[in-house]
Structure formats: structure tokens, C-alpha cells
């Protein structure tokens, strides 16, 4: 296994849609979301992703009241890697 744990997800935050309420920050289990220091063009300090550590759980997406502000992408293992893991589990 890798010495460094791989991210299981990727988080994208639309700075134009985020209103800076902070609900996603409070809801994030790995605590990889914070408020930006800068204001967007609407005058809000928006949520920002740290760039690593996302588990892909989607809790931030569920907590966010703004449609389209947060997109959570889950990492998918390569099919060959998945088959190898399943084969090892059945052996």
C-alpha cells in the first residue's frame, strides 16, 4: 500500500454560488474546507477546499443550501485493481 493515503474524493466549490454560510465547513468530517480570506464579486468570503484529504462522503454537498455551489467527485479504482482485490478476498 502507498505510504501516503490516497484521496477518495475531489471537491469543487463554485465561488459564484457560495454565500459563505459555513455549513459545509462544520459538516466536513476530515475538515478540509475553510473560508477564504478574499471576497468574491458578491462580497462573500467563500468556502475553499484545501486541495487534499477529501473522502468523497458528500456530507458537505448535503449541508449546502446553495444548489450548484459544491460538487463532490468520488475516486473510482481502476477495474483491474478492483478485480485483483476481489480475487484476493475470495482466496
* Domains in the chain: boundaries: 9-90
pTM listed for this prediction = 0.75
pLDDT of amino acid 60: 97
Give pLDDT tens digits for 9-32.
999 999 999 999 999 999 999 999
pLDDT of amino acid 78: 61
pLDDT confidence of 89, banded at 50, 70, 90?
low
46's grid cell: 467563500
Identify the architecture of domain 9-90 in CATH. 2-Layer Sandwich (3.30)
Over its C-alpha atoms, the chain yields an Rg (Å, rounded) of 16
Q: Return left, alpha or beta for 71; rule: phi > 0 is left, psi -120 to 50 is alpha, else beta.
A: beta
Give pLDDT tens digits for 37-87.
999 999 999 999 999 999 999 999 999 999 999 999 988 766 665 565 555
Calpha distance 12→69 (Å, rounded): 8
Amino acid at each position: 500500500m502507498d505510504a501516503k493515503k490516497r484521496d477518495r474524493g475531489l471537491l469543487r466549490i463554485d465561488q459564484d454560488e457560495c454565500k459563505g454560510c459555513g455549513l459545509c465547513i462544520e459538516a466536513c468530517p476530515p475538515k478540509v474546507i475553510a473560508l477564504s480570506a478574499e471576497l468574491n464579486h458578491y462580497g462573500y468570503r467563500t468556502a475553499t477546499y484545501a486541495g487534499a484529504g477529501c473522502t468523497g462522503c458528500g456530507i458537505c454537498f448535503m449541508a449546502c443550501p446553495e444548489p450548484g455551489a459544491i460538487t463532490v467527485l468520488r475516486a473510482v479504482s481502476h477495474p483491474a485493481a478492483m478485480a485483483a482485490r476481489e480475487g484476493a478476498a475470495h482466496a
